[in-house]
Structure formats: C-alpha cells, structure tokens
C-alpha cells in the first residue's frame, strides 16, 4: 500500500531539506514524495531537483506560482499512492507518523484519519518561543454526524478536524470518487474549505490523539509575506465564509444545537480577534480609517453579535477587554485597543 506525501513548495529553501528528510526517514517505506515547486524565487525549485537525486521516491513538479491549493491539486492529480498525506514545506513528520496513520486507517476501514500535532512558534531569528501540543481529543472512529457533533468540544482555533490538511491521512479513492480538491485562488482558509468538502460526503472518520507532526509558525511581524498572516479584508472574508459553510454543514446534518453554537462561537470570536490584531499590525498598508471601517463591520456582523452573547475567556492569555469593548459596539475603541495590542504582540 503506497502513500503519496504531497508537499507544496514556495520559497522555503531554509526548511525544505529538513522537511523532506523527515519524510524520507519514515518507518513506513512505501511512500512517494511529491514536491510541487510553485514558482519559487529563493532557490527552492533547484533544491527540489537536488533532493530528488538523493532518493528515488522523490518526484518533482515545477509550475508557475498559483498558490498552495493549485500546488496540492497538481500533486493529487499525479499521485499514484492509494493513500494521501499532505505536509507543508517547513513542517516535520514524526518518524512513525505515516505508519501509525496508515495502520489506523486500514484497521478502522475509514476514509480519513486525523491526528494531533505540535505547534512550534518561533521568531524570525530562529529562536523557538513555544512548543504547544495540540491533541485531537479522544480516539475513536466516527460516522459523519457523530464526528460533526464533536464541534461541541471546539474552543480554540486549533480544533483538530477542520483547520488544517496536514494532520491526517486520506483515502485516494475517496478523494477521487467525489472529485475533492482544494479551492484555487484562496490564500487563506483553503485547508478549511477542503476539509468541509470532505466532511460533507465522508462516511467514516478516525481520530487518534498522538501528535505526529510538527507545525512551525513564525510569529515575527517581519514574516508578513506568509499568506497565513496577511492582514486585509479578504482575510476576514475568507474566515467568515469558512464559518458560514461550517454552520451550513452542521445544519444539514442536524448537528447545529445550542451547545455546538456556543462552542463554535468561542472559536469564531478568537479567530476574528486574531484577524483584527493582524489588521492593526504596524507593517500593514491600511490606513487607520480603513482599519476602523473593517473592524466596525466585524463587530456588527450577526454571527459576532451571537458569539458575544455567550463568549467567555478560557485562559489567562485571552483578553478580557476585547469582548467587553466589542459588546459595547464601539468600533473606535476596539480599533484603538487593537492597535495597542498589536504593538505588544508583533512589535
């Protein structure tokens, strides 16, 4: 049983050898590693070709820059494995990751298996400032409705299941049967949109709590080129669309009860507050009045007003002030507070 590991590559020359090395060193050996060079300009494309000379399991695709979605789709279209695993070019797999995921998927006869991960926050100078295990919750195999009901456990952005695509193994036959692909053109939340497509048609999902991959996140404001931290209205709109689609999916499957609404409200609020803080970073090109206009729009959105009714901070690191200001609906005060907070977070 072959596993195709698809890695989109765009300007990750500093990390790519480490990433690919973690796949080559997997205890499960029957893998093909598909590197999709998405028009890199930092030498990553040439490095892909060099790495392919070191291991016959590595295949390289070069294409003009089209974004991570198009790169992953290109990898999917040429993958020959019966199972699919995604990995970002600056992340790592633990040595037994593929073996454990495959054993679980086959044993449970599931269409996908999801695991936990470790989020590694680091500064632009390479210093690691946090290593945060993000577990997937209780293990088990779930049908679609039961899996979706797990959103009642959702408290934070990292809820395992609908935020990422690299914390899982999927059946290639399942993806092809329903023509499941990533939305081309999106640079934010494309993972969520892909996940929601999968959940809409899946019959069986397995979950294991093991943290089998390490996801590296640069928290320095100097990394503004990363799609995941760009700050503009399109970012907020993408997040909003992902939550709209999540609500629609839960409603269609009879899962949108009050407990799930409250729990997703926590996630929604935290997501939007992070979007506001990033919008207010000192290195964004938007003017104060553009920030104010968008922040007022976020504060007044019906889903935000609904989330604010039941939101409560769950940890000491979460702001008590922001929900109070947003409940008052004073966009000017929210913007001033967010500007102050962004300076503390991003410098």
pLDDT tens, position by position, 112-143: 999 989 989 888 777 888 888 887 777 899 99
CA distances from 298 to 193, 278, 339 (A): 21, 14, 16
Q: Dump pLDDT digits (tens) for 200-252.
A: 999 999 999 899 999 998 876 544 444 444 456 778 889 999 999 999 999 99
| Domain formed by 3-223, architecture | Alpha-Beta Complex (3.90)
Alpha helices in 207-330 (DSSP H): 233-252, 258-279, 288-300, 302-310, 321-328
**Residue 137: CA atoms inside 13 Å, Cβ hemisphere, count?**
20
Give the model's pLDDT for residue 150: 82
- Whether the pLDDT of residue 343 is over 80: the answer is yes
Q: What angle do CA 77, 81, 84 make, to 5 degrees?
A: 75
pTM, rounded to two decimals: 0.90
Q: For 67, phi and psi rounded to 5 degrees?
A: 100, 165
Give the model's pLDDT for residue 230: 47
Both structure tokens of 126: 């390479």
Dmax (CA) of the chain: 61
Q: Which residues contact 319 (CB under 8 A, 6 or more apart)?
A: 273, 313, 341
Closest among 72, 85, 69, 31 to 212, alpha carbons compared:
85
Q: Dump pLDDT digits (tens) for 86-98.
A: 999 999 999 999 9
HEC per residue, 5-64: EEEEECCCHHHHHHHHHHHHCCCCCCEEEEEEEECCCCCHHHHHHHHHCCCCCEEEEEEC
Domain ranges of the chain: 3-223, 246-346
Q: Dump pLDDT digits (tens) for 145-184.
A: 998 888 766 654 345 567 889 999 999 999 999 999 999 9
Radius of gyration of the chain (CA): 20
Rounded Cα gap, residues 263 and 251, in angstroms = 15
Give the model's pLDDT for residue 107: 97
Burial state string for 11-21 with b = 16 or more CB within 10 A and e = fewer than 16: bbbebbeebbe
Q: Which residue has the tokens 């503390």?
A: 344
67 pLDDT band, cuts 50/70/90, is very high
Both structure tokens of 101: 């995921």
């Amino acid at each position: 049983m072959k596993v195709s590991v698809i890695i989109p590559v765009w300007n990750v020359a500093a990390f790519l050898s480490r990433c690919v090395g973690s796949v080559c060193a997997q205890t499960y050996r029957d893998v093909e590693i598909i590197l999709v060079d998405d028009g890199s300009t930092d030498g990553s494309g040439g490095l892909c070709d060099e790495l392919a000379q070191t291991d016959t399991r590595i295949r390289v695709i070069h294409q003009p820059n089209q974004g991570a979605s198009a790169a992953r789709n290109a990898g999917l279209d040429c993958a020959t494995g019966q199972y699919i695993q995604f990995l970002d070019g600056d992340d790592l797999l633990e040595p037994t990751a593929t073996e454990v995921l495959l054993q679980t998927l086959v044993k449970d006869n599931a269409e996908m298996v999801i695991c936990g991960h470790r989020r590694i926050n680091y500064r632009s100078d390479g210093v690691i400032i946090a290593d945060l295990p993000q577990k997937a919750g209780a293990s088990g195999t779930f049908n679609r409705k039961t899996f979706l009901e797990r959103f009642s456990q959702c408290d934070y952005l990292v809820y395992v299941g609908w935020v990422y695509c690299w914390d899982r193994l999927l059946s290639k036959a399942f993806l092809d049967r329903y023509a499941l692909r990533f939305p081309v053109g999106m640079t934010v939340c494309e993972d969520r949109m892909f996940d929601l497509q999968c959940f809409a048609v899946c019959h069986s999902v397995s979950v294991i709590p093991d943290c089998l991959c390490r996801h590296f996140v640069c928290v320095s404001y100097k990394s503004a080129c990363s799609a995941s931290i760009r700050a503009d209205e399109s970012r907020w709109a993408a997040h909003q669309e992902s939550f709209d689609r999540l609500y629609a999916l839960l409603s269609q499957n009879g899962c949108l009860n009050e407990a799930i609404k409250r729990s997703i409200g926590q996630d929604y609020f935290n997501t939007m507050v992070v979007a506001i803080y990033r919008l207010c970073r000192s290195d964004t090109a938007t003017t104060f009045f553009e920030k104010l206009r968008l922040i007022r729009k976020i504060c007044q959105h019906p889903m935000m007003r609904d989330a604010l009714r039941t939101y409560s901070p769950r940890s000491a690191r979460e702001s008590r002030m922001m929900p109070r200001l947003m409940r008052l609906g004073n966009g000017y005060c929210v913007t001033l507070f967010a500007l102050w907070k962004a300076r503390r977070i991003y410098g």
